Structure 1
Amino acid sequence: MSSTTPSVWKQPAQVWAVAFACVVAFMGIGLVDPILPAIANSLKATPVETELLFTSYLVVTGLAMLVTSWISSRIGAKATLLVGLGLIVVFSLLCALSGSVDAVIGFRAGWGLGNALFISTALATIVGAASGGSSAAIILYEAALGLGIAVGPLLGGILGEASWRGPFFGVVVLMAIAFVAVLVLLRGPSPARTPIPFSAPFRALGNPALAVLAATALFYNIGFFTLLAFSPFPLGFGAMGIGLTFFGWGVGLAITSVWVAPILLRRMRLTSVLLLALPLLAIDLLVAALAVNSPAALVACIVVGGLVLGVVNTALTEAVMEATDLPRSVASSAYSAVRFLGGAVAPPLAAFLWHAAGAGVPYVVAGVSVLIAAACIVLGRRTLAHVDSAHPDAADEGAAVLVGDAT
């Protein structure tokens, strides 16, 4: 390989500023995981009410995703990023100061609005500014996602040992740092803005390939968030134990999304990778259902699940970026809206099924949902044929920039 091959890790300062902010934003997804039991105890909330902390966040994130491209095309990427980060700072502070579970649920919804503005714009910003092409940008974005999801529960566990309010105060500080980093480092002339119609993301879902991928993500995310949001309850650990468990989960996700997925995508069709990983995830969830009364076995299932999730996340992100000729921000917003709405269903549904039928049932439902996601790929494979045929070049590029000039 040529020594001049660009490395995914050699990026402009503005890319690293946005990537750092991405890490912190994704930390917010798993941050509350270790403190869910503590919140339930301290605020006298039921598990279903506690799981609504995820649902309010994800519902608003998903719905807001449908308008983020319309907003960013008018005020610019930097302003959209800063508004999103500012909202997260404000609402995470309000969460920390709340005195009831209803207040935390409501403020998490505001947090979700900021998250939507930031995340959908961040991916487009990194893709536009990163050196090494779109595959390098996607790898970097997935690395930020994996690191954020890994560190979030660990930080939540550490700060949650003192108080359930601690993780929220931690996010305030980190997001304020991210705000300053984006404000100072995201420089340069703004590209000419072409206003995107308000209806663009809605019409984008009429694209057959994007519709197949969105449906896949809808059912896949039910499995994802059952594993993430429900598992702290049957584990029965304290905040630190839950944090360490999901740190291992997040590390596994980061490793496979950054290193394993590009290797698989270079050797297999993109849809083949999904049809390998999704059934494996379903099997892992069904094993978790059987092992739910053994904390050690459940921890193993959670970590293994993280390894598989990393592959699916990267493959789906690559597929969405290549599925249509729509602007990336429009395709990403439309797809992400459906994806987050799927995740919003899982936490309260899992808590309800737990009390109605036992702790193993939520994992069974999650496993079946992931199999439905795989069925979406099977039924839509012909629709995704152009993604498979176009993908080898992108996968080769991704693999090349990943190793950079190490060879």
Structure 2
Amino acid sequence: MSTRENLAVINGTQTIPSQEKDSLLNQPKAVWAVFFASIIAFMGLGLVDPILSLIAEDLHASQSQVTLLFTSYNGVMAIAAIITGAISSRIGAKWTLMCGTVIIALFSALGGLSNSIWAIVGWRAGWGFGNALFVATALVAIISLSKGGNAKAIILYEAAIGLGISVGPLLGGWLGGFSWRGPFLGVAFLMVIAFFAVLAFMPTIKSQTTAKQGTSFAEPFYAMKHRSLVVFGIGAALYNFGFFTVLAYAPFVMGLDVHGLGYVFLTWGIFLALTSVFTAPKLQQWMGTVKAMCLMFTLFAVLLLAIGIWTNIHWVPIVAVILSGAVMGNNNTLVTTAVMNAAPVERSTASSAYNFLRFLGAAVAPYMAGKLAERFNPHVPFITAAVFVIFAGLIVGLNYHHIKHVDHVGSSH
């Protein structure tokens, strides 16, 4: 029996047997509470995009120092991902999510009240820890509580990511028009609302699989003995060099003000959300998960090369970034679906191992982009990111024999 067919108890929540005929929108209130909280949590990724230049100017920081807002955030997320499954198995998914929302609210507020770039970098690291608790657990919670099986649950999760990432820059641009502090304080306020939504609507269900001792902190490392999980994790880490070069450095080459950047990344995020929900499943059915993923890597690399070659022609980065949202949306859903079916381990463990690997790339990429631009020129970060994304496609493609089973698991439903 496949993972998708099991009635399993994961991370303190019980999986509901799949009903393919259930509507994607016909979900329990608990799912929508986590969905809403996920949107707000993922605002943190794109929130600072429009205000990077404002922070650099106001706090007299260099571009590479400002990109550390992403590096500290993602670096802590990578490390913390290892322990999220163990924490959640001990206190339950609901309390893990609630702890994550409180930590995000606290550290985003502290960031908004800071007066130095290094203080904000530090508070963003704390924000990253809260997000790590929230992100891995939210995916497992939505899968466990939703109706309609893994595929629909993952689509809901990726839709929340897309909406959060798209609304984040819009909110950042609007509040950033008043002060760069506004977006930080705005997220803190919204996370307080998310806390009460999870508290009110998400049930507390005791874990039956790990009730006595909880999941071991070493489980994610044991999970990495499965080559398929490692292949997807390394592929995602290399892909994130492109993803976070777009997020962290592209705002510096578009020649737009804070509101213009907000609208560009809003459009980018809308494309990301729509494709993750509507076109990614069709690509899976048409080409298979792995082949579709390799196609998305190739298209993304082409867009990054276009930005790298024509960096000084402002409309080229703007158009390419917007189009990259469509590619990223497809790819995010494809990779997440593959990871959940990659190895015979609990979803929370697979999620922890995968997040650890992928966020390593996300941590290095932003700072590297800023330093490459300072050392050479603004073209180099995007060309370098394109090379990393090409390597991501090669690693996934060359290991096809070891990962092709994810398509059979996905179709066995």
The match for 2:277 is: 258
The match for 1:130 is: 146
Measure, in 1, the Cα distance between the counterparts of 2:204 and 2:60.
50
- Matching residue within 98, 103, 124 for 1:87: 103
Measure, in 2, the Cα distance between the counterparts of 1:294 and 1:21.
38
The verdict on how the C-alpha distance between 1:145 and 1:4 changes in structure 2, with shifts beyond 3 A counting, is closer
Cα deviation, residue 4, structure 1: 8.7
Cα deviation, residue 238, structure 1: 1.3
Measure, in 1, the Cα distance between the counterparts of 2:104 and 2:201.
19
Query: Any gaps of 5 or more consecutive residues in structure 2?
Result: 1-18
Tell me the matched-pair count: 392
Letter of the structure 1 residue corresponding to residue 155 of structure 2: I
Measure, in 1, the Cα distance between the counterparts of 2:205 and 2:394.
45
- Matching residue within 138, 151, 162 for 1:146: 162
Q: Is the 8 A contact 1:74 1:193 kept in 2?
A: no
Measure, in 2, the Cα distance between the counterparts of 1:41 and 1:206.
47
1:388 aligns with 2:407: yes
TM-score, normalising length: structure 2:
0.93
Cα deviation, residue 191, structure 1: 3.7
Residues 29-87 of structure 1 deviation map (CA, whole Å, 9 limit, x = unaligned): 11011000000000111111110000000000111000000110011111111111100
Measure, in 2, the Cα distance between the counterparts of 1:330 and 1:189.
19
Cα deviation, residue 355, structure 1: 1.6
Residues 123-179 of structure 1 deviation map (CA, whole Å, 9 limit, x = unaligned): 000100001111110000000000001000110000000000000011011100000
Q: Is the 8 A contact 2:20 2:148 kept in 1?
A: no
Cα deviation, residue 188, structure 1: 5.0
The match for 1:62 is: 78
Cα deviation, residue 237, structure 1: 1.4
Give 3-state SS (helix, strand or coil) of 2:253's partner: helix
Letter of the structure 2 residue corresponding to residue 23 of structure 1: I
Give 3-state SS (helix, strand or coil) of 2:400's partner: coil
Measure, in 2, the Cα distance between the counterparts of 1:169 and 1:385.
45
Q: Is the 8 A contact 2:78 2:358 kept in 1?
A: yes
Letter of the structure 1 residue corresponding to residue 262 of structure 2: G
- Matching residue within 5, 13, 24 for 2:29: 13
Give matches, 1:288-303, under 5 Å.
288-303=307-322
Give 3-state SS (helix, strand or coil) of 1:45's partner: coil
Residues 231-272 of structure 1 deviation map (CA, whole Å, 9 limit, x = unaligned): 011112111111111111111111111101011111111111
The match for 1:53 is: 69
Residues 212-242 of structure 1 deviation map (CA, whole Å, 9 limit, x = unaligned): 1011011000010001111011112111111
Identity %: 46
- Matching residue within 255, 276, 297 for 1:278: 297
The match for 1:187 is: 203
Cα deviation, residue 360, structure 1: 1.1
1:233 aligns with 2:252: yes
Measure, in 2, the Cα distance between the counterparts of 1:4 and 1:41.
52
Measure, in 1, the Cα distance between the counterparts of 2:188 and 2:142.
23
Q: Is the 8 A contact 1:214 1:338 kept in 2?
A: yes
More helix by percentage: 1
The match for 1:399 is: none
The verdict on how the C-alpha distance between 1:4 and 1:21 changes in structure 2, with shifts beyond 3 A counting, is closer
Letter of the structure 1 residue corresponding to residue 327 of structure 2: V
Give 3-state SS (helix, strand or coil) of 1:147's partner: helix
Give matches, 1:90-109, under 5 Å.
90-109=106-125
Measure, in 2, the Cα distance between the counterparts of 1:72 and 1:295.
45
Measure, in 2, the Cα distance between the counterparts of 1:4 and 1:229.
39
Cα deviation, residue 204, structure 1: 1.1
Measure, in 1, the Cα distance between the counterparts of 2:34 and 2:329.
21
Give matches, 1:190-269, under 5 Å.
190-192=206-208, 194=210, 195-269=214-288
Letter of the structure 2 residue corresponding to residue 298 of structure 1: P
Q: Is the 8 A contact 1:289 1:361 kept in 2?
A: yes
Measure, in 2, the Cα distance between the counterparts of 1:306 and 1:146.
9
Q: CA RMSD in A?
A: 1.2
The match for 1:316 is: 335
Measure, in 1, the Cα distance between the counterparts of 2:264 and 2:71.
22
- Matching residue within 46, 51, 57 for 1:41: 57
Cα deviation, residue 193, structure 1: 5.1
The match for 1:161 is: 177
Give 3-state SS (helix, strand or coil) of 1:192's partner: coil
The match for 2:188 is: 172
Measure, in 2, the Cα distance between the counterparts of 1:119 and 1:349.
25
Q: Is the 8 A contact 1:282 1:368 kept in 2?
A: yes
Measure, in 1, the Cα distance between the counterparts of 2:105 and 2:48.
15
Segments ≥4 residues shifted beyond 4 Å: none
- Matching residue within 14, 26, 31 for 2:47: 31
Measure, in 2, the Cα distance between the counterparts of 1:156 and 1:44.
20
Measure, in 2, the Cα distance between the counterparts of 1:34 and 1:218.
24
The match for 2:11 is: none
Cα deviation, residue 294, structure 1: 1.5
Give 3-state SS (helix, strand or coil) of 2:402's partner: coil
Q: Is the 8 A contact 1:265 1:392 kept in 2?
A: no
Q: Is the 8 A contact 1:40 1:47 kept in 2?
A: yes
- Matching residue within 63, 68, 78 for 2:94: 78
- Matching residue within 338, 360, 363 for 2:382: 363
The match for 2:4 is: none
Cα deviation, residue 378, structure 1: 1.5
